[in-house]
Amino acid sequence: MGSVLSVQNRVDAVSRAAYAAIQEEDWEAAEGLLRRLIQLNPSVGVDVWDHLGFTLLMQGDYLGCLEVLKPYASHPQRSFWVQHKLGDAYRGLNQLDHAVLCYRRSVQEGSDSPLSFRNLLQVLDRQDPRLALGELQRWRELATAIPDAAWDGARQAALLVPGPALVQMLQRWGLADGDCRQRLLKAACYSLDLDQVCHLLHQAAAQPTGLTVWEQELMDRLERFNLWPPPRLAATNAQGAASRSQRDDGC
């Protein structure tokens, strides 16, 4: 009985030390401790192997991660993170078709992490930007079947991929957030496209959340240089004010 308790005490101590090392992002130490934990208790749950795969990923050991996690790819107690991490490993090895397959499985297995959706779009964009746009269109057609995490991931991907197509599509659908709009606004500023800058600011001001601090500062700067509101918007506002004044006078 005493020896059993002694082994369990060692297991508990190593487990605490391993997860403390993960929290401290000491990946090499965490790997060694998790391997020691598996030696002490070969029947550890899939979550221990999952964490071991994560420590290998963080050290850039993609082959090691695959070796550790592939046996658990269909384990009944796995979480969606197993397929997600397999996707990360394949992505690190530039095996993009396998990465896409694993990220899709992670999503099918109930991923509620924006990272799964973000990484899927990034890999598809790397293969061909049209594939990422097609995936985004498919999500929109599924509507309520797609979790909010998908759109959070899409917005993250839109900021990370080289081209602007993803963020432009999100903007057209009214799904771009302030960071996405900032990417579009910066591109319009760099190209000296004042009409586009004003158009984007006008759209942002109409959002329920209103302008971000960055957008408001940009608008203030344009006002100082007499570039805001743009002539057409100013004329429209003036016409609207005149019409309201006439109605008021009539009353």
Is the model's pLDDT at 2 over the cut of 70? no
Region at 193 (left for phi over 0; alpha for psi -120 to 50; beta for the rest): beta
pLDDT score at 243: 52
Q: What are 102-161's pLDDT values in tens digits?
A: 999 999 999 999 999 999 999 999 999 999 999 999 999 987 788 999 999 999 999 999
Q: What are 45-64's pLDDT values in tens digits?
A: 999 999 999 999 999 999 99
Residue 133's CB is within 10 A of a number of other CB atoms, namely 18
Nearest alpha-carbon partner for 55 in 39, 36, 75, 74: 36
Higher-pLDDT residue of 88 and 239 is 88
Where does residue 221 rank: exposed (0-12), middle (13-18), buried (19+ CB within 10 A)?
Answer: exposed
Any residues with CB less than 8 A from the CB of 164 and at least 6 apart, and which?
A: 183, 184, 187
Q: What are 157-199's pLDDT values in tens digits?
A: 999 999 999 999 999 999 999 999 999 999 999 999 999 999 9
Residue-range domains of the chain with CATH: 2-181 (1.25.40.10), 182-251 (no CATH)
Contact 96, 109 (CB under 8 A): no
Q: Could you tell me how far CA 7 lies from the centroid of its own chain?
A: 42
